[in-house]
Amino acid sequence: MKKNLAVTFILVFFTLFAPQLVRAAGNTYYVSVTGNDSNSGTIEKPFRTIQKAANIVAAGDTVYVRGGTYKEKVTAKNSGTVDNYITFSAYPGETAIVDGSGIPLASDSGVIYILNKSYIKITNLKVINSAAMGIVVDTGNHIIIEKNHTYNTVSSGIGIRHVTNMIVDGNEVILACNDGDGEMISVASSAFVDITNNKVHHGGPGTVGGEGINVKNGSHDVLVQGNQIHHNSRVGIYVDAYLNHTYNVFIDRNSVYSNRSGIAVASEHGGELNDIFITNNLVYQNVRGGIMIGDWGIGHPHNIYIINNTVALNKNGGIALWDSGSTNIFVQNNILSQNSDFTIQATGLPLSETTITNNLLDGYRNLSTEVRGTNYIEAGAKFSDATNSDFHLLPTSPAIDTGTTVNAPAQDFANQTRDAHIDIGAYEYDPAYSYPFFTSTFNTNFSGWSKTRKVILYSGAPRIGARSIRLSGNASITRIIPTTGYENLTLTIYMGAKSYEGKEKLTLSWWNGALWQPLIVIKNSSPKENGKLNYLVFPLPSQAGNSSGFKLRIAQTGADLADYGYIDSVQLKGTQVP
């Protein structure tokens, strides 16, 4: 067995990435599209440009940008201090857009540019249409970029280089790398950086660049956690040492799906790459593989930990150990489910340099380079609802209590504490989780529903999928849905109506064994009588649970054939009876 760095993992992961304290004790300035830069910057007399405010702010000051579009490049001119950050923020409840259309920018610059400055916070701004990057932080420290939105940037949406102690949290990055180089969120030569809870999706064509989140070229002590990365033209999360020593990168609790590939590590130009922890991630439906140690670099990664991930439904395979010179590779407690081509593949990598153990292999292909490792389980994963990307474990899953505690993360994907008997995969089994045990989408038929009078599958609007249900006049649909084995039930349904003018109504009811119990009644002028499918959630009484005779009915009454009720996507969830 190879060297074990579990102690390092625990100490670094839970102590390096502490929240930063932001105080604001100075002046407050305002910017408005109706303002003037000759004004004093008060709410009554705001500035016209954000740059005017950036030129004068000092430590502890806050700049509120009122709603509207500002066609300008904003360059930070001053730094805050440890106790008093400078804050640039959209005014609460308003949308402030910084539009780079037509503004010439150097390739390493951005619409918002922070160079060699510290203790600055950028929050809730929308940055669009950049000829280079969206938000750039270069050579600074203690910077917070949170809850911003970038769209249509030729290069990165958010670019970070030579920065220490930084938080990038809760941002949304769309259509970055729109035929330019870089990555959607790029972290280069930086240390002690948190990249958390961002949505990074629908990137550009990726002709030159296009990775989702990239940690590279000498970065270290970087946390990539809780992000949603999807529909990007290259790898979702990429760690590349490139030329410089890159280490202590923690990739945890991310959803990475529908990208070209999921998560990859490599050293393209020979920089040392070590101590990379890939834990608790959901990696699914990517078109060119799940998790990879790449063979396209001249350097060789070592001390790579791929632990407790769920890797499912990826094309071209699950976990690929392709670099033959890698050392000290751990692949433990992962679920590999229904990935085409292979589950775990080791191409040229000596197995003496690996610890591959306690993985669940669902769809082993028996290729010459495919490996099972030790203490493996070859069986179906038994997810809650993989079709709808719900990878919670069913109570009957063989992944429960069959993992190893060695190197296992203390929390799971949902940030729930793992118990002493570690489960395989990103989720620890949760007996209190509410499982969807019944779903009806009506996309193809009425399967199981009985109907009276004019009820049709409807392909017009409104609908969620291919079809919805439309009731015309006095009509109803009913179904028996046994809830045996489930309690603490929740019903979700999409419903709506239109063209009511009198006593027409649409009623959703459940059968308690003696009477129909109404859950909602939509009448003329009700908020839901809007011609739309409204998303409704109903916690059901305890009597509805664990019943073989539970029924649902949706009935339209007092109506003629020009009155319409709509239903779609009925689902019941519940916890399993112990």
pLDDT digits (tens, 9 = 90+) for 65-107: 999 999 999 999 999 999 999 999 999 999 999 999 999 999 9
Domain 435-576, CATH class in plain words: mainly beta
User: Does 462 sit behind a cis peptide bond, omega within 30 degrees of 0 on the bond before it?
Assistant: yes
Instruction: Give the model confidence (pLDDT) of 379-431 as tens digits.
Output: 999 999 898 899 999 989 999 999 999 999 999 999 999 999 999 999 999 98
H or E element in which residue 6 lies: helix 6-15
Cα distance from N-terminal residue to C-terminal residue, the chain: 39
Q: What is the CA radius of gyration of the chain?
A: 27
Instruction: Give the model confidence (pLDDT) of 534-551 as tens digits.
Output: 999 999 999 999 999 999
**Is domain 14-233 classified as CATH 2.160.20.10?**
yes
- Residue 8, helix vs strand vs coil: helix
Q: What is the chain's mean pLDDT, rounded?
A: 94
Strand partners, 110: 133
Q: What is the pLDDT of residue 18?
A: 47
Average pLDDT over residues 193-202: 98
Rounded CA-CA distance 73/81 in Å is 24
Number of other CB atoms surrounding residue 365 within 10 Å: 14
Q: What is the pLDDT of residue 184?
A: 98
Q: Give yes or no for a contact between 130 and 152, defined as CB atoms under 8 angstroms apart.
A: yes
Q: Specify the DSSP class assigned to residue 175.
A: S
Residues forming CATH 2.160.20.10 domain(s) in the chain: 14-233
Residues forming CATH 2.60.120.260 domain(s) in the chain: 435-576
**For residue 12, pLDDT beyond 90:** no
Count CA within 13 A, CB hemisphere, residue 374: 7
Rounded CA-CA distance 95/99 in Å is 12
Where do we find the tokens 């490049």?
A: 73
Q: Give yes or no for a contact between 17 and 11, defined as CB atoms under 8 angstroms apart.
A: no
Q: Give yes or no for a contact between 379 and 360, defined as CB atoms under 8 angstroms apart.
A: yes
Average pLDDT over residues 129-151: 98
Instruction: Give the model confidence (pLDDT) of 487-504 as tens digits.
Output: 999 999 999 999 999 899
- Residue 80, helix vs strand vs coil: coil
Residue whose C-alpha is closest to residue 26's, from 70, 71, 76, 83: 83
Residue whose C-alpha is closest to residue 567's, from 478, 499, 453: 478
Sequence-distant (≥ 6) Cβ neighbours of residue 368 within 8 angstroms: none
Where do we find the tokens 């890797």?
A: 311
